[in-house]
Structure 1
């Protein structure tokens, strides 16, 4: 046998050793190499968000379906979940138009949560993709609304004017421009804008109430009173219709009580009437 006792005193090489961390053998993947102090410990989404691009093949994601998911969340007032769906849609979209739609809708969902700073950022992202596309007018008018709520009133009017420059038949854009002009005391210009909105088909109680206010500022009290009465009638009709719909729903629920339960197929709320993906705020 070979005597190996002498080997016990063997000294290993005093080389340079491995770096810290050793680039070729590290337990932590580089995508997790972040400052933990900048991560909210209660944010359960942070790891998933960081790994999305590494774990999900982009070709396997249908950004259009993600947009529909976000809109379905909006339909049921789940705006926080909607913002997440829209952001993922934007991240995985190959088509710039789809990406722009996603950013616009993300801004709307943030605005519904009164997160106007985030909404402004989303609208600006949309406009950075293309500031003259079919979705740009919607982004501009919604950006105007968010800026107004955020206290940036001067910028709000600029973007409202940009919206109607992009699309002269954009009724919501004309209404928003009328509102911002009226707030500045420019009642005559505001009246012209709101009349444009009405001519383009935007005639509801909110629009008529705003027109009545503008007419009062101009001293047209008789016409203002007539418009205000029409707005009140619209509101009363809407309230009656809502009550009737609730009674019908209650009657249907009572009629199905006690019946054996079977499989129920739920309609997709995002498909009803082929709703547009963009939600325009006024």
Structure 2
């Protein structure tokens, strides 16, 4: 390799160069100006979330429609997309009630993903908006459920009781209180609570199984066996109805396997029998997600017998 001659044909520019900053290539435009101290370095959505405020005018977003998008995602089990839709609904909502609905539903979606820490945060945010609203009891019940799953059992009972204080006719709240009291060995109080839940219309296999377990703890074995048999019959009937629905669906050439019962069917309930206090012990019940009635979808978890695992909840 030979050295190049110092004399080169190319003449370098002797101009003054670009200004600082050069507008056409500014790497730090004002719409991306972010305080680094307020940004989580592992937050992959920080740029998108920041741009939303600049690229989307508040008046161009119908938060109610955006909430429906999230609910539709929930119906097809796309929970990650649902959490994002609900979070954006809360950000764009100008009405506190709508924002609270979004936070409650976001918490339910996180719970479906077993992201209980995020679910707890979402329900706390809903309660921060209003602790006495029509959705507060649902938020308290869902918070109790998430706390239980997260291992905060003592605090879970407090919020289950708070749900009943807000709405004494909230059946899911009574069921959760029964569950937590039973876990503490307070079977008599638990029995009163589960009976209240049943009187208020929450009567399904899961609830009856829980009542049978409580009766067994009280030594009422004959009555416990009778209730357990009723629960098993109810579950078998629901399973048969689900099979009939599947056969009808495939018979019509639907091809869309019905993994869960009906639109928005949710998991719930444990296997048949009493189960005792071991691996088959029931979980507390989640409250529902806000706004499903507007879509013509029944409360999920309550009265829904097409269940697949050991969790039950209703989406308000």
TM-score range normalised by the length of the shorter chain: 0.7 to 0.9
Look up the match of 1:262: none
* Residue 277 of structure 1, CA deviation: 10
1:117 aligns with 2:117: yes
- The SS at the match of 1:86 is helix
Change (3 A) 1:67 1:275: farther
* Residue 49 of structure 1, CA deviation: 1.1
* Residue 161 of structure 1, CA deviation: 0.2
Structure 1: give runs of 5+ residues left out of the alignment. Answer: 1-11, 13-17, 256-267
* Residue 276 of structure 1, CA deviation: 6.4
Look up the match of 2:34: 33
With normalisation by structure 1, the TM-score equals 0.81
1:92 aligns with 2:92: yes
Distance in 2 separating the partners of 1:168 and 1:118 = 27
Q: Choose the corresponding residue for 1:273, options 273, 284, 296.
A: 296
Change (3 A) 1:277 1:26: farther
* Residue 29 of structure 1, CA deviation: 2.9
Change (3 A) 1:226 1:58: same
Distance in 1 separating the partners of 2:300 and 2:220 = 39
Look up the match of 1:75: 75
- The SS at the match of 1:77 is coil
Look up the match of 1:184: 184
* Residue 50 of structure 1, CA deviation: 1.3
Change (3 A) 1:53 1:188: same
Look up the match of 1:132: 132
- The SS at the match of 1:253 is coil
Name the structure where helix makes up a greater proportion of residues. 1
Show CA shifts across 1:151-202 (max 9, x none). Answer: 1111000000000000000000000110011001110110000000000000
| CA RMSD between the two structures | 2.9
Distance in 1 separating the partners of 2:254 and 2:299 = 34
Where do 4+ consecutive residues of structure 1 move more than 6 Å? Answer: 276-279
Structure 1 residues 246-265: aligned runs within 5 Å = 246-253=246-253
